Amino acid sequence: MIQTKNSPEPIDLKEVGETGTIKGYISVFGNVDSYGEIVEPGAFADSLAKSARAGRKAKLLWQHDPHQPIGIWDELTEDKKGLWGEGRLLIDESPRAREAHGLLRAGALDGLSIGYRTLKAAPKQGREGILSLVKLDLLEGSVVTFAANDRARVEVVKSMLDAGTLPTVREFEGLLRDAGFSKTKATAIAAVAAPHLRGEPEVEADPLASLFAAMRGAPIIDLTGAPD
């Protein structure tokens, strides 16, 4: 399954060149995200080496949409901080790339994010409830609207609800983590509630009972935006 993870480092506008060049950290090591996951140093090493041997450059996508490539990553390297990328928006070839370039330079977009598959993960030693991502297969790096932050996820989910759509299980879990639920409770609630709300087939006899059990004693989050 392809997963995505936003970098907590917003793009520095100085790193967006007039000709479409772009630089920034597309992943940061040691940062515990709202899923309770940490990308470990060296997680991309094998994937980068494999791409180098094949002479293949990573794709630069618009908002993780595989139907909207907007550039390429010429260089991807791991350092002590994370995965540093230097790429090019193909502004002469793609109208969407030109749009992304203008939005980046104006500050309307400021996020970078990876699309990947998890090849190896393990519980973080000494950190209960934290999962270490040890080996990842990097598939692409995207320009996204937000750098990773809690409020951004709430706004995205609220926009989805306003549009009449519902979040995936993973998005719902992340929102619950942002709201203060433990990883265990967020996982349990999302696994039951998201499919139920989306009208997907139920996999157990009484999913609502499981949902209420998971929510017992948990905080409440308001997505309506209404004043208290």
Q: What is d(CA 48, CA 162) in angstroms, rounded to the nearest whole number?
A: 39
Which SS3 state, helix, strand or coil, does residue 149 take? coil
Tokens for 95, please give them.
Answer: 């109208």
pLDDT at 107 exceeding the cut of 50:
yes
- Count of domains for the chain: 2
**Band of pLDDT at residue 209, cut at 50, 70 and 90:** low
Kindly provide the residue ranges of all beta strands, DSSP E only, lying in 35-128, ordered along the sequence: 37-39, 58-62, 65-78, 82-89, 111-123
pLDDT at 109 exceeding the cut of 60:
yes
User: Mean per-residue pLDDT for 194-218?
Assistant: 59
CA 228 to chain centroid: 30
pLDDT tens by residue, 129-178: 889 999 999 999 999 987 664 444 455 555 556 666 666 777 677 667 65
Largest CA distance in the chain: 58
In a domain, 179, yes or no: yes
In a domain, 223, yes or no: no
Tokens for 27, please give them.
Answer: 């992943």
DSSP conformation class of 16: B
Which residues are CB-contacts of 145 (< 8 A; sequence separation ≥ 6)? 63, 109, 110, 111, 152
Q: Percentage of residues in the chain with pLDDT exceeding 70?
A: 71
Tokens for 125, please give them.
Answer: 């030693």
Residue pair 164/146 in contact (Cβ under 8 Å)? The answer is no
Range of 98's domain? 3-148
- Which residue among 106, 125, 148 closes a domain? 148
- Which residue among 119, 148, 177 closes a domain? 148
Residue 114 and residue 195 in one domain:
no
In a domain, 155, yes or no: yes
Residue 70 and residue 57 in one domain:
yes
- Which residue among 93, 115, 148 closes a domain? 148
What is the value of pTM for the model shown?
Answer: 0.67
